[in-house]
C-alpha cells in the first residue's frame, strides 16, 4: 500500500489534497479533520520527533527496567531528587513520600479477597456488577470464558513484555508503534454492520512491504481450476501465490491520481497519514482491503520489544469455519457443484470424506460432479 506521498515542501512535492478544516497547530501536529472521526494528514516521523523533543532528557522514553523494588531505593536520595524537581525542602519531600504513599489508597483490609465485592458499597459500578454476577450464577451452569474470549485475550497479550534473545533485535527508544486495522474482504450478510477486521501493530521503522507480507488473505491461496478428474493434482500444501499488483494499477479504478511508489522503498515513518481514515490496499488484482490506522504512539517499556515479532497481530476476528457436510468435524477443503451425491448445491467436504464419497478404492471417479479446492476464510484462525 502506498500512500499519496506528499513531498516535503523543501523538495517540492506535489500538492496535497485540500482539507476541510484548516490546521491550526504546527504542520505535523495531529488534529481532528472531522471531530471524533479522523485526523488531518501529518508526517509520521515528524510527529514522533515532536514527542521526542518534549520528552528528551527525562526518563519517559526509557525502555530499561525500572530499578528493582522501588521501596529498596535510598529514600534519602529520592527525597533529594523530589526536592530538586519540585523546589521544596527535604523535609517536605520526606513528608510527601509519606502523605502520598500507596498505602493511603488501600481500601481493603489485610485478609480481604480483592475479587469479592464488599457488602455495603455505594458505588454504582459495583451494584451493576453484583447484579450481573448474580444473574450469571443463576443462569449459567459453568461460568468461564468462552473460546472466543480466551482467544481474544491471548491475541491481545501474548507478546506483551517480550524481550528479544538477541539484543540487536531490541526496539530503539523513541520508536513509533502504529496500530492498523485491516478489514477482511469477506462479505457475509451478518457482517453488514460490523465488518470483521484484524489489528496489527507495526513499527514506524518498518517498510510497507513488511506489513503487506504479514497480511494473511485467502485470496492469496485461491487455486483456480476444476479438479474432479484429477483430485490429486490439487496442491496439498497450498503455498501463497504472490502476484501482488503494483498500486499504479488502481488508475483504472477511477480513484484519482496516485503516485506510483514502490512499497519496499518506504517505511511507515516516511508516510503522511490521517489517523482514523480508511485507506485501500489492493492485491491479487481485485482483492481489496480497507485499512485504517487507528493509533500511533511511542514505544513503551511494557510493549513487546522484540523487533522481529513485528508486524504483530493483536486482534483477529474469529470466523466460523465451514465444516464438512459429512463428518461435521473437519474444515471443508472441497466444494462441489452439480453433485449427484450431494444433498445440496454447493456442498462442502473435507478431504477424506470427499474422496470416500466420490471415488472408489482405485481412485476412479464415481458419478457426476464438479469439484473445486476450497479455502475457508477461517483458515487463518
Partner 1 sequence: MGTPSGLKDDCEALLSRFQEMDSVRFEDFAELWRSMKFGTIFCGRMRNLEKNTFTKEALTLAWRYFLPPYTFQIRVGALYLLYGLYNMQLCQPKQKIRVALKDWDEILKFQQDLINAQHFDAAYIFRKLRLDRAFHFTAMPKLLSYRMKKKMQRAEITEEFKDPNDRVLKLITSDVLEEMMNVHDHYQRMKHVISADKSNPEKSLDLIKDDFFDNIKNIVLEHQQWHKDRKKPPLKLKVKGGEEKSERNSQQSERCERAESLAKIKSKAFSVVAQASKSRRHRQVKVDVSDSESGQVQTKTTRKRKNKETLKPAGKKVSSRDRDDMQNIHMEDKSLNLSMPVVTEEDEENESFSETEFTAPKRRRKQRTKS
**Per CB under 8 A, which of residues 6..25 are in contact with partner 1?**
25
DSSP 323: B
Q: How far is the CB of 143 from partner 1 (least distance, A)?
A: 9
Q: How many CB atoms lie within 10 A of CB 322?
A: 14
179 binds partner 1 (CB under 8 A): yes
Interaction residues for partner 1, span 144-163 (CB under 8 A): 145, 149, 152-153, 156-157, 160-161
Q: Nearest 10 degrees: CA dihedral of 272, 275, 278, 279?
A: 20
Binding region for partner 1 (CB under 8 A) out of 9-17, 80-88, 247-255, 337-345: 80-88
Binding region for partner 1 (CB under 8 A) out of 85-93, 235-243, 317-325, 369-377: 85-93
Q: How far is the CB of 271 from partner 1 (least distance, A)?
A: 13
37 binds partner 1 (CB under 8 A): yes
Q: What is the rounded CA–CA span in Å between residue 199 and residue 183?
A: 9
Q: Nearer to partner 1 by C-beta: 6 or 323?
A: 6
Q: How far is the CB of 235 from partner 1 (least distance, A)?
A: 37
Q: Nearer to partner 1 by C-beta: 84 or 242?
A: 84
346-376: string of b/e by CB count within 10 Å (b at 16+)? Answer: bbbbbbebbeebbeeeeeeeeeebebbbbbb
Binding region for partner 1 (CB under 8 A) out of 114-122, 162-170, 281-289, 331-339: 114-122
By CB under 8 A, name the one of 7, 118, 225, 285 that touches partner 1.
118
DSSP secondary structure, 74-87, as one string:
-HHHHHHHHHHHHT
Size of the site for partner 1 (CB under 8 A): 74
Q: Nearer to partner 1 by C-beta: 14 or 66?
A: 66
Q: Nearer to partner 1 by C-beta: 294 or 381?
A: 294
Backbone φ/ψ region at 174: left (φ over 0), alpha (ψ -120 to 50), beta:
left
Binding region for partner 1 (CB under 8 A) out of 5-13, 15-23, 103-111, 354-362: 103-111
Interaction residues for partner 1, span 248-307 (CB under 8 A): 275-278, 292, 294-298, 300-302
Give the phi and the psi of residue 89 in degrees, each rounded to 5.
Answer: -85, 165
125 binds partner 1 (CB under 8 A): yes
Of the CA atoms within 13 Å of residue 113, those in its CB half-sphere come to: 5
DSSP secondary structure, 161-197, as one string:
T---SSGGGBPPTT-EEEEEEEE-----GGGSSS--E
Which residues sit opposite 137 in a β-bridge?
none
Q: What is the rounded CA–CA span in Å between residue 324 and residue 345?
A: 13
Amino acid at each position: 500500500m502506498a500512500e499519496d506521498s506528499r513531498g516535503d515542501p523543501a523538495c517540492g512535492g506535489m500538492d496535497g489534497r485540500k482539507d476541510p478544516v484548516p490546521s491550526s497547530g504546527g504542520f505535523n501536529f495531529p488534529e481532528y479533520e472531522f471531530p471524533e472521526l479522523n485526523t488531518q494528514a501529518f508526517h509520521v516521523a515528524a510527529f514522533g520527533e515532536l514527542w521526542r523533543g518534549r520528552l528528551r532528557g527525562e526518563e519517559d522514553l526509557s525502555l530499561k527496567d525500572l530499578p528493582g523494588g522501588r521501596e529498596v531505593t535510598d529514600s534519602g536520595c529520592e527525597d533529594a531528587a523530589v526536592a530538586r524537581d519540585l523546589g521544596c525542602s527535604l523535609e517536605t519531600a520526606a513528608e510527601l513520600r509519606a502523605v502520598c504513599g500507596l498505602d493511603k489508597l488501600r481500601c481493603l483490609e489485610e485478609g480481604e479477597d480483592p475479587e469479592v465485592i464488599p457488602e455495603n458499597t455505594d458505588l454504582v459500578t459495583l451494584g451493576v456488577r453484583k447484579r450481573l454476577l448474580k444473574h450469571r450464577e443463576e443462569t449459567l451452569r459453568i461460568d468461564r470464558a468462552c473460546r472466543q474470549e480466551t482467544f481474544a485475550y491471548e491475541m491481545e497479550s501474548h507478546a506483551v513484555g517480550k524481550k528479544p534473545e538477541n539484543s540487536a533485535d531490541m526496539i530503539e527508544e523513541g520508536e513509533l508503534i502504529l496500530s492498523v486495522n485491516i478489514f477482511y474482504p469477506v462479505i457475509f450478510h451478518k457482517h453488514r454492520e460490523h465488518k470483521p477486521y484484524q489489528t496489527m501493530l507495526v513499527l514506524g521503522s518498518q517498510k510497507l512491504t513488511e506489513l503487506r507480507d504479514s497480511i494473511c488473505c485467502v485470496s492469496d491461496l485461491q487455486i483456480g481450476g476444476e479438479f474432479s478428474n484429477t483430485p490429486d493434482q490439487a496442491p496439498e500444501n497450498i503455498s501463497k501465490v504472490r502476484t501482488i499488483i503494483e498500486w499504479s494499477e488502481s488508475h483504472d479504478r477511477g480513484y484519482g491520481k496516485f503516485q506510483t511508489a514502490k512499497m519496499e522503498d518506504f517505511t511507515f515513518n516516511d508516510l503522511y497519514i490521517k489517523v482514523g481514515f480508511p485507506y485501500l490496499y489492493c492485491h491479487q488484482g481485485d482483492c481489496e482491503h480497507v485499512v485504517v490506522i487507528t493509533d500511533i504512539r511511542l514505544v513503551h517499556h511494557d510493549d513487546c520489544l522484540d523487533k522481529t515479532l513485528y508486524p504483530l497481530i493483536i486482534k483477529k476476528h474469529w470466523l466460523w469455519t465451514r465444516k464438512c457436510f459429512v463428518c461435521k468435524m473437519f474444515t471443508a477443503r472441497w466444494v462441489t457443484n452439480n453433485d449427484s451425491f450431494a444433498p445440496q448445491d454447493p456442498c462442502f467436504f473435507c478431504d477424506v470424506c470427499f474422496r470416500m464419497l466420490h471415488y472408489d478404492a482405485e481412485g476412479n471417479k464415481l458419478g457426476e460432479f464438479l469439484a473445486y479446492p476450497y479455502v475457508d476464510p477461517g483458515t487463518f484462525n
